[in-house]
Amino acid sequence: MRGWARRIGPRLDPRSVEELGRLGPMATWLRWVCLAVGVLLALTTDQPHRNALYLAGGVLFADTLYRTFKPLEIYPATWRAEAWVVLDLLIAVGSIAFTDTWSSPYLLMPIPLVLLASYGWGYREGCFAALFTAGTILMADAVGGASQDALRTGLLVSIVVVAAAVVGGYTRQLWLEAEERERETADEVSRMTLANDLFHALHDVVRTLPDSLDLAEVVASARDTLREVFAPDVLVVLLADETSASWRTQLAEGATVAEHLETAELPSRIREALDKPGVVRVEKTATQTELWNGEFASSAMIVALRTPDRVVGLVAVEHRAPDRITTSDAELFSRIASSLALAVDNARWFGRLRTLGAEAERARIARDLHDRTAQSLAYIGFELDRLSNRYSDPALPELHRVVREVVVELRETLYQLRTTVTDDEGLVPLAEPYLRRWSDRTGVTSTFEAICPDRRLPRQVEQELWRIFQEALTNVERHADASSVHVTWDCSDGHARLVVKDDGAGMDSARPAPERYGLVGIRERADAIGARVHFDSDLGNGTTVLIEMETTA
């Protein structure tokens, strides 16, 4: 039954709207008009079968009266609604066939139903209703032996009924097109209103942000504001280090705070702010591990710097005296923190974009070094060589040697600056010959292992990984005093991993600032592409730098 119902049910245009259903009551009143015309013709026309006219009129009157109190519903469209239309058509057509077919005074009764079907459901249903009406009456004429005049009249009336179906369908189409235009206009107005609201909100936010997008200046501006407003004894600003899932101390006044901290190393009330939205107020401390200053009877305000999708930092304002924080202080601190969170996030994104956009500047520097400095040094070398041949001053050959070494270093620098990832040449084809050249120059034994070497990442991501690779080798050359280096590139299982491991002197892992080993540039580049940096080093056991990130592969 369900499949059969779907086959005969109306397949409506998806743009149909509920307003189409308003024609149902209008069609009912049109039926009353057609019935009144039919009754008037029946009473004023000489017909041989009066009883048939009265009986048909009564049936049509009852059906029209019923539809007055229970109109046909064309929305929502179902196969039952179409079945009711077909039933009403059978009543109207049967009444016409019962009263001399095309000579019947009730000949107009199917027209409102044909209009209703075509207007509510489209040309297909309307034409079906019109052909059903005309075909049924023509069959009745053929069975009853109608005259040629009656057949001619039937043909004309059939044309009128089909025209009614076409008019109804065309009216429906115009209605839907008007509804579509109105909906598009409403959507456009809605989009413009949303854009206007966003511009207003952006204007309000911009007014509260510092003028600079430099992170250090943003924090300095926040420091001055917090000092002036709250006069704290201790002021600490921590920023989330997304490359290592730790915290970097950006500002610490009145307390000694390590440069890098894990979440577990934070004081207990500071950690509480990570899980609690809004400002954490501390009226009085009970232990020395609750806040940064390590004293009892302290009061503080702590808040996490939150953006819509993550926490970018923590701010703590502490007083050594208890009960120094009021409700108004907390509200003002919350507003300052909201502005600071956006400013910090904007500054960090600006830094990432600046890092990603540095390649053009590197290319320009390489051109300038080649066109100016390299040529000038080459000229100086030729002149020193010529002077050495003419004069016996022992300082000239030594100076010539120094210039040659500078030229060699400059050529190596130009090679590093100019070598870059392209759409045709990825990280692996660049890294292998580069590592061999580096090994020949430094005397450090090197090996390179690539897992899934043919798999590529986006060009900009590979470009930053390539610069990280160069930076890591530079650190080995300058600081490690290593005899061998092993590099691994693994781009499989939805992850990309770059590992640079040396057997050099290493460093004390307890040192608070591994950036002294030269990892600042590596962290900045990793942060720009959403990668994480793992640093593992012990005295005498070498150093391992791991860059890891998820990929879409």
Q: What is the pLDDT of residues 12-23, one digit of tens each?
A: 444 444 555 556
Structure token digits, residue 324:
């120094």
pLDDT, residue 309, reads 81
For the chain, give percent helix, strand, coil, nearest 5: 60, 15, 25
Helix (H) or strand (E) segment spanning residue 222: helix 215-230
Res. 89: pLDDT tops 60: yes
- CB contact set of 472 (below 8 Å; sequence gap of 6+): 500, 522, 545
Averaged pLDDT, 542-551:
87
12-26, 75-89, 303-317: least confident range: 12-26
pTM, entire model: 0.46
User: Domain spans of the chain?
Assistant: 2-182, 215-350, 357-418, 423-553
Structure token digits, residue 170:
């065309």
Structure token digits, residue 389:
């041949």
Res. 170: pLDDT tops 80: no
* Closest listed residue to residue 126, CA positions, set 45, 10, 209: 10
Q: Dihedral sign for Cα 394, 395, 399, 401, please.
A: positive
How large a percentage of the chain has pLDDT more than 90? 8
- CB contact set of 539 (below 8 Å; sequence gap of 6+): 505, 506, 507, 508
- 215-350 with 423-553: one CATH topology? no
pLDDT, residue 15, reads 47
Task: Write down the residue that tokens 């901290």 correspond to.
Answer: 261
Domain at 423-553: CATH architecture: 2-Layer Sandwich (3.30)
Q: Where are the beta strands (DSSP E) in 211-356?
A: 234-241, 246-253, 260-261, 279-282, 299-306, 311-319
37-46, 392-401, 507-516: least confident range: 507-516
* Closest listed residue to residue 117, CA positions, set 159, 158, 169, 67: 169
Q: Indicate the pLDDT class of residue 2, thresholds 50, 70 and 90.
A: very low
Res. 474: pLDDT tops 80: yes
From CA 88, how far away is CA 139, in angstroms rounded? 19
- CB contact set of 307 (below 8 Å; sequence gap of 6+): 341, 342, 345
Mapping DSSP to helix (H, G, I), strand (E, B) and coil, where does residue 230 land?
A: helix
Mapping DSSP to helix (H, G, I), strand (E, B) and coil, where does residue 453 land?
A: coil
Structure token digits, residue 149:
């005049």
* Closest listed residue to residue 378, CA positions, set 353, 408, 398: 408
Averaged pLDDT, 157-167:
75
Average pLDDT, rounded, for the chain? 76
More confident residue, 397 or 315: 315
Distances (CA, A) of 496 to 205, 246, 395, 430: 37, 21, 53, 17
pLDDT, residue 374, reads 64
Task: Write down the residue that tokens 């923590």 correspond to.
Answer: 314
Select, from the ranges 131-145, 369-383, 487-501, the one with the highest average predicted confidence (pLDDT).
Answer: 487-501
pLDDT, residue 150, reads 61
More confident residue, 202 or 508: 508
Averaged pLDDT, 102-120:
74
Counting other chains too, the contacts that 122-126 makes at CB distance below 8 Å and 24 or more residues apart are: 122/10, 122/12, 122/13, 122/169, 122/172, 123/165, 123/166, 123/169, 124/10, 124/11, 125/10, 125/82, 125/85, 126/164, 126/165, 126/166, 126/168, 126/169
From CA 220, how far away is CA 250, in angstroms rounded? 10
pLDDT, residue 346, reads 82
Res. 169: pLDDT tops 60: yes
Averaged pLDDT, 130-142:
71
Res. 314: pLDDT tops 90: yes
Q: Indicate the pLDDT class of residue 234, thresholds 50, 70 and 90.
A: very high
Res. 282: pLDDT tops 80: yes
Res. 171: pLDDT tops 80: no
Q: Give me the DSSP letters along 103-143.
A: G-TTTTTHHHHHHHHHHHH-HHHHHHHHHHHHHHHHHHHHH
Averaged pLDDT, 63-67:
79
Would you give the distance in Å from CA 115 to the centre of its chain?
47
Q: Which CATH number fits domain 215-350: 3.30.450.40, 3.30.2350.10, 3.90.550.10, 3.40.50.620?
A: 3.30.450.40
Residue type at position 290: E
Counting other chains too, the contacts that 167-174 makes at CB distance below 8 Å and 24 or more residues apart are: 167/115, 167/118, 168/114, 168/115, 168/116, 168/117, 168/118, 168/119, 168/126, 169/118, 169/119, 169/122, 169/123, 169/126, 169/127, 171/119, 172/20, 172/118, 172/119, 172/120, 172/122
Q: Dihedral sign for Cα 355, 357, 361, 364, please.
A: positive
Counting other chains too, the contacts that 218-226 makes at CB distance below 8 Å and 24 or more residues apart are: 218/340, 218/343, 218/344, 218/347, 219/250, 219/251, 219/344, 221/343, 222/315, 222/336, 222/340, 222/343, 223/251, 223/253, 225/336, 226/315, 226/317, 226/336
Averaged pLDDT, 312-328:
89
Res. 351: pLDDT tops 60: yes
Burial (CB < 10 A; 0-12, 13-18, 19+), residue 465, is: buried
Q: Indicate the pLDDT class of residue 510, thresholds 50, 70 and 90.
A: low
Q: Indicate the pLDDT class of residue 540, thresholds 50, 70 and 90.
A: confident
From CA 133, how far away is CA 115, in angstroms rounded? 12
Res. 343: pLDDT tops 60: yes
pLDDT, residue 514, reads 47
